[in-house]
Every structure is written in structure tokens, then in C-alpha cells.
Structure 1
Amino acid sequence: MLIMSFLHGYIFEEVYMKPPQGCAKTLPGQVCSFKRFLYGPKQASRQWNCELTLKLLQFCFLQSTHYPCLFIYCKDDVFLALLVYMDDVLLSGNSDEIIQTVKDYLHQLFTVKDIGQARYFLGIELARSDDGLYINQRKYFLDLLHDAGLSTSKPVATPLPRDCRFDDQSSPLLADPDKFRRLVGRLLYFGFTRPDVTFATQQLSQFVQAPTEQH
């Protein structure tokens, strides 16, 4: 994890702000000029990503064309994969020595908190065994059930009954459609590790504009 990451982004245009409370004496009409970003401006996350990307490319990482958050390092028989999400970084590879070199490199540039072997990343649990690496979203789904008020529901064999249809025009609209939309979005993400729910979720996603109680 990279600490206070947005503060590392440089500003290439003129941005001003009112002096914050407690600042030294200022004259009426005076403003502060940004040299680096603070948390809040729209450009902050973009500039931070550009700064981190530049540093990774300088280390000879290659950025994926289709997945810009993925960086690959290949040299001789060494292979590393580095995944970036905002200020979270997941690094894996076949060389502990080069992995440590990358960590030391990032430590020199930014404030980094190394949490060791990854066990949980973006709602996905990572479990290691002698057979390999297993991923699941058990905690993510339990939280989803709790937020949806379905923690005590009984399990069923399939996500949808056979020949299930959602064409009841008389069903009233939901009072809180945003809750339905959030639930569908979370189920779509859950489908990465449980593809058996993907079809049912896609059926429901057709009605996010005007969900009804039937849905």
C-alpha cells in the first residue's frame, strides 16, 4: 500500500486555493498556488497514476495495452506481474530477489506500507496450499447478503428457477432503485469467482433503469 499517494502527483497547470485556516499572515486577496496535488481536486488521481506509471516504466516494467493497471517485468528467466488499483499494489513473480528490489525501489520514491503476502485484495481472498493458489469471495458475499437483508435466507440449487420471467407489468416500482442497482453491480463483481451467478445477474441488470418489486 502506498501512503498519501495523491500528494506525489505534480501539477502542470495553474491551480489556486484560498489560504487554509491557521496559515501565516496573508494579505486580502492573496491565494496559494499548488505545486503538488492535495486530496480533492479531480486531477489528483490521474496525476498520481501518471507519476507511478512513469516510475514503473523507468524500472523496465511494460504496461499492458488492454489492462493499463497491469505491469509486466520480463528479463532472462525472471517474470513479475504488478497490479495497481489507486494506492494498492499487488506484486507477484518467480524471483524473491527481484521482488525485494522492486519494493526497495518504490520505498525510495514513495511512502510504502508492505503488508507481506497478500491475503485479501479488492474483495477477493487469496489462500495458498501445496496445490497452488485459491481465490474466493466468501467475506465479500457475506457482506453483500447482510447489506441486502438476506443473511438468514436458505440456499437454493440454482440462482434462478427454470423458465423464470420478469415481464410482470403490474409490479410496482421499487421505492429505492439505487439499492437494487448497487446490489446488481456487486453481484456482477462476485461473478468473477462464481460464474454460476452470472446469467441470473445479467438478467436482472436489464432492469436497473426501472426495477420493480418483482425483480
Structure 2
Amino acid sequence: MVTIRAFLAVAVARGWPLYQMDVSNAFLHGDLTETIYMKLPPGFVSSCPNKVCRLRKSLYGLRQAPRCWFAKLADSLTNYGFHQSSSDHSLFTFNHNGVQLYILIYVDDLVISGNDNTAVHHFKLYLSNCFHMKDLGTLKYFLGLEVARNESGIFLSQRKYAFDILEETGLLGAKPAAVPLEENHRLALANGKEMTDPTSYRRLVGRLIYLTVTRPDICYSVHVLAQFMHKPQVPHWEAALRVVRYLKANPGQGLFFRADCDLRLYAYCDADWAGCPLTRRSLTAYFVLLGTSPISWKTKK
């Protein structure tokens, strides 16, 4: 996610267009290097019932399928002249005769950007010749992230995802909370009744964790709540619902990547002193900006 946010921040700062493409039946494109056999599928009648099928191509459900597909795609990009990033293998870069192209991959979703629209168009045609591609046009929705762009920058949010959380917890009509967590909370020392079914708590916290992709304001709260996944108590559940009520105040809040960005890194960090009442361990937090665009943050005990 840090790569995705940095990718978008650089693209908007340099005024590059952003396009999205999707691969149809991606896992069926992979080439197998191992010898794999499978039983005859149900309903298939053969004159030789003792025979099995030998796979020539990758199939959905194979453990090798994701690796085979990515290897096939990486080979196609390398043949075009792209170089794979050593820091994040999902990022590929192309730099030749002043033409710069960048592609970000998540399984079968591709985000493409560059400084030359003609080169981008030729590259999209090349991908369509290699695979069965679907051109989704300008980037608007990627991995649950809603992307809105104008002349001043890009706004990234998870508004629909936040509303889904509110609807699932039944708090669409609840009164919004001003802050996500009480000040000077003592959740680590809570001595309430244990939840009979912790599944709902784990699901809610898991969904909140993904919401921190565009909501650094709840990062600390979710970090605290995630420590009680094993045996959540009623006070922990109530604290999680308070975070949801905080989202109710502004479910569409997100990140704004400004176009007038200097692309310089700024980092801030802080730590308390033995803040955990149980382990006496400290809490560290950092926040990294690329110009004025937030790209990375974390809270860790």
C-alpha cells in the first residue's frame, strides 16, 4: 500500500495520466513448469476410467497458479523493456529515450502511468496482444480505493467501504463520536465479561485494519483493538463500536495528494515511555510524507 500511495503521489505531482487495465482469466495464462496430473472432472465419462489428465496450462485452484501467472506477466514486461523493482516486485519501470512508463500490478489489476501518452497507448496495445485485456480507462477504483482527480490533485478514500462497516454493525443511525478512542483509556487492564462469540469482533477489527489504508487518524485505535483478538471482552467490543461511530462523522474522509508537490521526503516519529501497563513496552509511531502527500504511517508497540 505504501508503493500504491507513493505511485499516485508521484504521478499527480508530475501531471501524468493514470490508467487501469484488467486481465480476463489471468490464472489461465500461466505456463506450468512442473508435471501435474489431475483426476477426471465430475461428469466426464471416459472409456479408460483408470487414466488421469496431465495439465498443460495453469488452472484456478492450483497452488502454482498465482506464481505461474506473475512469471508470465513479468516475462512479457521484461521483453518490452521494463525493469522490476527490487524493493517492491509489483512495480515495473521503463525508461528509454526520455520515455518513462510505470506499471503497478496487483494479481490481474494493472495501473499504468507515464510521461508520454502515445507510448502508454502503444504499451496497452502490446498487453492486449499478449493477453486478453480489458481497458478500464482512467483510474477510478482500485483495491477498494476510490480515486477522484482534478487539477489540484488526487483524493483517495474508502467511502463505500466505511458505509459497509456502518451498515454491518447497525450504526448507520448512531450518534457520531468526536474521537475514535477515549483519552487515557485502560483497555489493556479491562476486566469485563468475555464475548461468547469473538468472531464479530475479529471481523470488525479486520475490516478497520484495511480502512487504515486511507485513514491514518484511526491507526492508533485499531492498533490497540487488534491486541485483543484472542479473547476480546465486552469493553473491547464497545471501544471498537466507538471507532465505527467516529467514522459516522465523516465516512468519506481520506487522503489528498496535491499536484504542487516538491517530491521531498519528510518523516516524523515519536514514542512514549513504557506506555503499556501490562508489558511496560513503549509505543512508537511514525508518519512519512512525500512533499505534502502522506504515503506511510504506522503505530507499533
Q: TM-score, normalised by structure 1?
A: 0.92
CA contact (8 A) 2:195 2:234 kept: yes
**Shift in Å, 1:24:** 6.5
Unaligned runs of 5+ in 2: 1-21, 237-301
Given the superposition, is the C-alpha separation of residues 71 and 177 from structure 1 closer, same or farther in structure 2, using an over 3 Å criterion?
farther
Q: Determine which structure has the larger strand proportion and give its number.
A: 2
Pairing 1:57-76 to 2, within 5 Å after superposition: 57-76=78-97
Alignment pair present for 1:117 and 2:138? yes
- Please report the RMSD computed on the Cα atoms of aligned residues, expressed in angstroms: 1.7
Given the superposition, is the C-alpha separation of residues 59 and 160 from structure 1 closer, same or farther in structure 2, using an over 3 Å criterion?
same
- What does residue 43 of structure 1 align with? 64
Given the superposition, is the C-alpha separation of residues 148 and 67 from structure 1 closer, same or farther in structure 2, using an over 3 Å criterion?
farther
Amino acid paired to 1:207: F
CA contact (8 A) 2:190 2:235 kept: no
What is the SS of the residue equivalent to 1:152?
A: coil
Which moved further from structure 2: 12-21 or 158-167?
12-21
What is the SS of the residue equivalent to 1:125?
A: strand
* Aligned partner (choices 46, 49, 62) of residue 28 of structure 1: 49
Following the alignment from structure 1 to structure 2, what is the Cα–Cα distance between the partners of residues 26 and 38?
Answer: 24
* Aligned partner (choices 141, 144, 160) of residue 162 of structure 2: 141
- What does residue 212 of structure 1 align with? 233
Which moved further from structure 2: 168-177 or 25-34?
168-177
Alignment pair present for 1:174 and 2:195? yes
Given the superposition, is the C-alpha separation of residues 182 and 93 from structure 1 closer, same or farther in structure 2, using an over 3 Å criterion?
farther
Following the alignment from structure 1 to structure 2, what is the Cα–Cα distance between the partners of residues 201 and 26?
Answer: 59
Q: TM-score, normalised by structure 2?
A: 0.67
CA contact (8 A) 1:168 1:214 kept: no
What is the SS of the residue equivalent to 2:67?
A: helix
* Aligned partner (choices 97, 103, 120) of residue 99 of structure 1: 120
Alignment pair present for 1:191 and 2:212? yes
**Shift in Å, 1:149:** 2.5
* Aligned partner (choices 172, 179, 192) of residue 151 of structure 1: 172
Unaligned runs of 5+ in 1: none
Q: Which has the higher contact order (CA 8 A, sep 6+)?
A: 2
Given the superposition, is the C-alpha separation of residues 144 and 93 from structure 1 closer, same or farther in structure 2, using an over 3 Å criterion?
farther
**Shift in Å, 1:43:** 1.1
- What does residue 10 of structure 1 align with? 31
Count of matched residue pairs: 215
Given the superposition, is the C-alpha separation of residues 164 and 137 from structure 1 closer, same or farther in structure 2, using an over 3 Å criterion?
same
Moved over 3 A (4+): 21-26, 167-170
Given the superposition, is the C-alpha separation of residues 113 and 11 from structure 1 closer, same or farther in structure 2, using an over 3 Å criterion?
same
